[in-house]
Every structure is written in structure tokens, then in C-alpha cells.
């Protein structure tokens, strides 16, 4: 079982899809199975909403990828664990686990590769996004979006009494941070995963805010993180290389860049959390 994609991976896909698919007209849609089409009775019902129509700009709403179609509807894609998006020529071999192929009238194909079948794809009415996906109305700070001042962020942090790892992984507080990037953010902020949020000083809140923005945007710069438990390649089949810059995640026993002592790990709520002794 792979772990969920986080914001840097989804934003990496969004950027490439916007460049490669925006403005293109859909010729055909082929779905291998119904595993990603749970809202439909059959594949033809979904394809009929997409074929013959142009895609608009590809946006990210939380972790959803959304494109407005020329008939006013919205194509919505929610990536499941281990899912990948590929830009292909029609002649390219079909990768195992390919669930959907969208062929454009000009410009090849986009394929959804999802061996676990945990993704969701649908076309909804333009004003139904919140009704169909209520999570987009309840999301918190987007570290790759509009800047939220550290003072505002601090108000959210200090008003809660919860471990910092739980806080960072709570979509109502921060969008798209999970197992990987929460450990990295907390290392760069110098804070432990189990530190209670309402005990932070203003200086510590400011460090946490800065580390959150820095880590997420650096990971986007390096096109995400490719890991054994969460393989990631971009739309062009190139692996994300932020893994080469990870400070603690998955590096148990390696020497910390902060004190040259071995990085440690501990089981936290059923999964490993990685940290350095300098975190308080």
C-alpha cells in the first residue's frame, strides 16, 4: 500500500498538465475499468461529458485538479495513492495499471496510471464543486498559494491543543502536508512531532511558518519526492528529485546536518516519524 500524494507532487502535475492539456480538444476517452468512475453507471456516460470538448486552464483546489470545459462543466481529478499522470504519444506502449486514456484531436494523449484504483475522475456542473467535494470549502493554508502572514497562521496554531505533526497533517489547517513533508518541516523548524501546538512561543511559530513555506516550495522546485513507498514521476516520466534533499525522512541512522548525530525514528500513530535530537 502506497502513501497519499502530497501538495508538491500534485502541484508538479498541475503545472505540466496546464501547459500540455489546456486549450486542447478531447477526441476520445477510454477507461480500462470503472474503478475511477464511481459516480457513473458506465464508461460511456462519463466519456460523453468529455469527448468533443476543450479543456481550460488546469487549477488546483486543495489537492483536486480542476479544468473548466467549454460547455461550462468542470473536469475534476482526485489522485489516489500511487497514481501517476503521463503525457504520451498515441504510439507509446501502454503502461501496466493505466486506468484512463484521454486522446486529443491534436497533441497526443494524457493517461492516468493508477494500479491501486484509488483515484476519482468526474465531470460536474460548474457551480457544484463545493457540493460535490465539500472538502474544498474547509481547507486551510495553502503553502504554495496566497501568502498567509505568520501572525494569522500563529493564531490558528496557538488556538489549538494538538501535536504539531497532527496539526500539519490536518487539511483544515494546512493543505497537502502528510507523512513526508511534515517530518521535514518540523526538522527545519527545530520542533518535535509530539510538541503541543499551544506551547509554542511566537518565535517558534514564526520558524514553523517559515519552514512550512520553504519545504513545500523547495519540493515543488525539485518536482516532488520519489520514494519506494510512494513512487513519483512527473507527467514526462521524470522522477521527482527532492528525495536527494531530504534532511530526516527515511534517513534513520544517517548523520543529522544539524548536530552530526544519527537521525532517529519512532512509531507515531502506526507509522514511522523521523527526527533529530535537536528538535524540542
Q: Which CATH code is given to the segment(s) 7-137?
A: 3.20.190.10
Q: Which CATH code is given to the segment(s) 150-275?
A: 1.10.8.50
Q: In the predicted model, what is the mean pLDDT of residues 217-235?
A: 95
Cell triple for residue 132? 460535490
Q: What are the pLDDT digits (tens) for 237-255? A: 999 999 999 999 999 999 9
Q: What are the pLDDT digits (tens) for 189-211? A: 999 999 999 999 999 999 999 99
Of residues 35, 134, 126, 133, the one with CA closest to residue 80: 35
- Give me the DSSP letters along 78-129: E--TT-EEEEE-TTSPPPTTEEEEEEESSS-EEEEE-TT---EEEEE-TT-H
- Give the C-alpha separation, 2 to 100, whole Å: 20
Q: Which SS3 state, helix, strand or coil, does residue 258 take?
A: coil
CA distances from 241 to 56, 142, 192, 235, 273 (A): 29, 22, 26, 14, 21
CATH 3.20.190.10 domain extents, the chain: 7-137
Of residues 66, 71, 84, the one with CA closest to residue 132: 66
Q: Band the pLDDT of 1: cuts 50, 70, 90.
A: low
| Average pLDDT value for the chain | 96
Q: Band the pLDDT of 73: cuts 50, 70, 90.
A: very high
CATH 1.10.8.50 domain extents, the chain: 150-275
pLDDT at 149 over 60: yes
Quote the pTM value: 0.95
Amino acid at each position: 500500500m502506497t502513501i497519499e500524494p502530497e501538495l508538491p507532487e500534485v502541484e508538479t502535475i498541475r503545472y505540466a498538465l496546464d501547459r500540455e492539456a489546456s486549450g486542447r480538444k478531447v477526441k476520445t476517452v477510454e477507461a480500462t475499468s470503472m474503478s475511477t468512475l464511481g459516480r457513473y453507471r458506465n464508461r460511456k456516460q462519463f466519456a460523453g461529458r468529455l469527448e468533443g470538448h476543450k479543456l481550460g486552464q488546469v487549477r488546483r483546489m486543495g489537492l483536486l485538479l480542476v479544468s473548466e470545459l467549454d460547455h461550462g462543466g468542470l473536469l475534476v481529478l482526485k489522485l489516489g495513492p500511487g497514481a501517476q499522470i503521463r503525457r504520451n504519444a498515441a504510439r507509446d506502449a501502454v503502461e501496466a495499471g493505466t486506468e484512463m486514456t484521454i486522446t486529443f484531436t491534436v497533441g497526443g494523449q494524457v493517461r492516468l496510471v493508477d494500479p491501486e484504483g484509488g483515484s476519482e475522475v468526474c465531470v460536474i456542473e460548474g457551480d457544484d464543486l463545493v457540493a460535490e467535494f465539500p472538502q474544498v470549502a474547509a481547507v486551510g493554508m495553502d503553502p504554495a498559494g496566497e501568502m498567509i502572514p505568520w501572525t494569522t497562521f500563529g493564531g490558528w496554531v496557538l488556538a489549538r491543543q494538538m501535536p504539531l505533526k497532527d496539526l500539519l497533517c490536518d487539511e483544515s489547517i494546512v493543505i497537502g502536508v502528510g507523512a513526508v513533508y511534515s517530518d521535514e518541516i518540523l526538522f527545519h523548524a527545530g520542533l518535535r512531532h509530539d510538541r503541543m501546538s499551544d506551547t509554542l512561543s511566537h518565535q517558534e511559530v514564526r520558524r514553523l511558518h517559515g519552514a512550512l513555506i520553504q519545504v513545500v516550495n523547495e519540493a515543488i522546485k525539485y518536482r516532488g519526492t520519489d520514494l519506494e513507498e510512494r513512487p513519483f514521476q512527473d507527467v514526462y516520466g521524470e522522477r521527482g528529485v527532492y528525495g536527494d534533499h531530504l534532511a530526516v525522512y527515511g534517513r534513520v541512522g544517517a548523520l543529522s546536518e544539524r548536530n552530526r548525530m544519527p537521525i532517529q525514528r519512532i512509531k507515531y500513530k502506526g507509522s514511522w516519524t523521523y527526527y533529530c535530537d535537536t528538535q524540542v
